[in-house]
Structure 1
């Protein structure tokens, strides 16, 4: 006789089948066969006091890993450090950076190697450590490996946390049909894994990537049938899904649904509305929304102002964009990467170099990391304007803030007064990892 939990899981699976009736054939995960499995150092974990004096400080190990560019050495050093130190295994960010780097090199075998080296610690590890390993495969766009890792987890780790990590891995890899299958099959075969509101929000996010968004709306009704109450994240995800697909009228219906559920829209809800208004060219309406938020709430955040800045810049209304920037700072919001990426190039184009310089200095003082191309655009314009000293100062500050030499440099002026900048954009993309090096080392 089926248990109540099993019966509920079976019923939930049937209802999900109705939502996904139009899905294409499901992707079936296969058990991965790692091509690279470096041997972990033996005995160090069992003898925590042995050779302690000869071990490198954790901060130095982290720094070396962040700087290592050879994939094979990276794997070897990572495996040695992770198998020798429980403190290292608590460092979430270093796992993400290393896996992302190996994936960018196309070394999936290396990704498998370092994750496989962590599996001997699963039995005695926390649930969070198990979820991290599953999710890392998603970061590397290896969803079948994520599924196999979940399937092989110790029984105590087959939980809602690791289930959600698998769903997120499918989203990272954009395997939305496989996610739908997992959502139906895993809770049905593991009655203790009962999807939470967070699980359903991941499902809504996945369905918003499909052409037919009606299935995403249907999840709200499914949650209600399962005794769950959708939250603001559920509706904000729907709002962004419809607006990103240009379905502004449907987004307004979602807005009305929030009211039916007695949910007050937050800043993220309004940000979705603002993005829709800007996309439709309704800049004055977007400005009115910001004004209403400033007066009645919720308080606009940096993203709110960024949307309006983007709208004004799109129409070439630089004076209005600058005023919104000033309002952003006045209202104690921090300008972020999106702010400077939108505004600085337009300032350079308009010849407002003093304001562009101020923005560059603002990025440094706020530790806001923008792409090298944004700073390089200002530097190049200053050199053309014979303001070499100011250009040099920006480059010096860039060096102090770990921007790469090949991504930010003094341009060369040819005989025809054309400016050329030699850049290594692959190198310029790595500076964010360098900043993480400093963060991790400082926390060690």
Structure 2
């Protein structure tokens, strides 16, 4: 069915949110997802946006903005999002917040700020909700120096009282800038204002401290979190697992892993990745291999990062059977990795005179259905 026919069908059923309307929106979404010509994508998007139910589908907009931003088509992002301002939805803060957020994710902070500034002209009230969206846009745009300016300046100018989300965003910015002491000091400021820092507050700072080799400071903060009756969750434990791995104390990490399970917390992929990373850094192939397989038995899916950490190490240690297993798993899971990562396996197989298996991996790189990898078979020495 043509795109114009799909759209016509959607408009004919748009007055009632019935199954036919949902199917029509789904068909439009599928057509947009399959559209490879970005200019046509923009044109179709603007036409589809005339349909109210389409305008309510945030994930469709996020996907389009992500694709256009990856192609550096920022003018086209602006064309799509500015076109939305003509609709009455813009008078609702939630809709304006979405525009601010989308511009932020595209790295277009000036446009996000412009939307925020225009809200009063559309009789759209600015509350802490849109204020928090603007703070998040600063971080997503990598304009970390602007977060403090917005936090202090805008809140005072508009008499908006920052909430826990505001402070959490500010803390995240400090951590990403490496200003960990400033992040910790925000805890005291929150408590003075009668706010209760939550798990997100503590986990953000714990991540920063553990990742920057400030293990003792992180442990003190962990104790403070427990004293304040904030229960550590899987993200808290993952931060500590990475901290132990960075300290080359991965065996202690295994004990911590058992502790979190005993407390009824389900480990996730990041939990396993932390242990794998630790054992790789310590040069312990058997343990790293064990925890990779344990990940699968626990129904946690390995990610791109898992293979980036493990594959070069496995090849270096000469376990080529495991390297082949990992390489094939990348294709099975349709993960997008750098071709150089797979080439390491091919080169190691050729060096070990396992030409047939190397050739199989090269062919798999060319024949798989989701991405072509131009792997090369080196001349056998």
What is the TM-score with the length of structure 1 in the denominator? 0.71
- Tell me the equivalent position of 1:146: 112
Cα distance in 1 for residues equivalent to 2:26 and 2:329: 37
Cα distance in 2 for residues equivalent to 1:366 and 1:357: 14
- Tell me the equivalent position of 2:374: 409
Task: Answer whether contact 1:383 1:391 (CA < 8 A) is retained.
Answer: no
Cα distance in 2 for residues equivalent to 1:297 and 1:180: 38
**Secondary structure of the structure 1 residue equivalent to 2:203:** helix
Counterparts in 2 of 1:248-287, with a 5 A limit? Answer: 248-287=215-254
1:317: Cα distance to partner?
Answer: 1.2
User: Gaps spanning 5+ residues in structure 1: where?
Assistant: 1-43, 419-444
Which structure has greater helix proportion?
A: 2
**Secondary structure of the structure 2 residue equivalent to 1:195:** coil
User: Gaps spanning 5+ residues in structure 2: where?
Assistant: 1-6, 14-20
| Aligned pair partner of 2:100 in 130, 134, 137 | 134
What is the TM-score with the length of structure 2 in the denominator? 0.82
Q: 2:64 aligned with 1:98, yes or no? A: yes
**Secondary structure of the structure 2 residue equivalent to 1:334:** coil
Task: Answer whether contact 1:99 1:136 (CA < 8 A) is retained.
Answer: yes
**Matched length:** 360
Cα distance in 2 for residues equivalent to 1:123 and 1:81: 15
- Tell me the equivalent position of 1:111: 77
1:392: Cα distance to partner?
Answer: 5.5
- Tell me the equivalent position of 1:180: 148
- Tell me the equivalent position of 1:343: 310
| Aligned pair partner of 2:55 in 86, 89, 93 | 89
Task: Answer whether contact 2:362 2:377 (CA < 8 A) is retained.
Answer: no
- Tell me the equivalent position of 1:162: 130
**Distance change in 2, residues 1:410/1:183 (3 Å):** closer
| Segment of structure 1 superposing worse, 342-351 or 375-384 | 375-384
1:303: Cα distance to partner?
Answer: 1.0
Superposed structure 1 runs of 4+ greater than 6 Å apart: none
- Tell me the equivalent position of 1:293: 260
| Segment of structure 1 superposing worse, 378-387 or 173-182 | 378-387
Counterparts in 2 of 1:7-156, with a 5 A limit? Answer: 48-49=11-12, 57-65=27-35, 67-69=36-38, 72-82=39-49, 84-121=50-87, 123=89, 127-153=93-119, 154-156=122-124
**Distance change in 2, residues 1:340/1:410 (3 Å):** closer
Task: Answer whether contact 1:122 1:130 (CA < 8 A) is retained.
Answer: no
**Secondary structure of the structure 2 residue equivalent to 1:328:** helix
1:346: Cα distance to partner?
Answer: 2.2
Q: 2:185 aligned with 1:218, yes or no? A: yes
**Distance change in 2, residues 1:376/1:155 (3 Å):** farther
**Distance change in 2, residues 1:198/1:172 (3 Å):** same
- Tell me the equivalent position of 1:310: 277
Task: Answer whether contact 2:362 2:376 (CA < 8 A) is retained.
Answer: no
Cα distance in 1 for residues equivalent to 2:70 and 2:114: 22
**Distance change in 2, residues 1:98/1:180 (3 Å):** same
- Cα deviation 1:206-249 (Å, max 9, x = unaligned): 12233542221222222223332111110010111222333222
| Aligned pair partner of 1:195 in 162, 183, 204 | 162
- Tell me the equivalent position of 2:288: 321
Cα distance in 2 for residues equivalent to 1:165 and 1:68: 31
- Cα deviation 1:55-99 (Å, max 9, x = unaligned): 99414531343x225xx44433433333x3334333433433433
**Distance change in 2, residues 1:96/1:306 (3 Å):** same
Q: 2:265 aligned with 1:331, yes or no? A: no
- Tell me the equivalent position of 1:394: 364
**Distance change in 2, residues 1:387/1:294 (3 Å):** farther
Q: 2:201 aligned with 1:234, yes or no? A: yes
Task: Answer whether contact 2:347 2:377 (CA < 8 A) is retained.
Answer: no
Cα distance in 2 for residues equivalent to 1:168 and 1:128: 15
Cα distance in 2 for residues equivalent to 1:314 and 1:335: 18
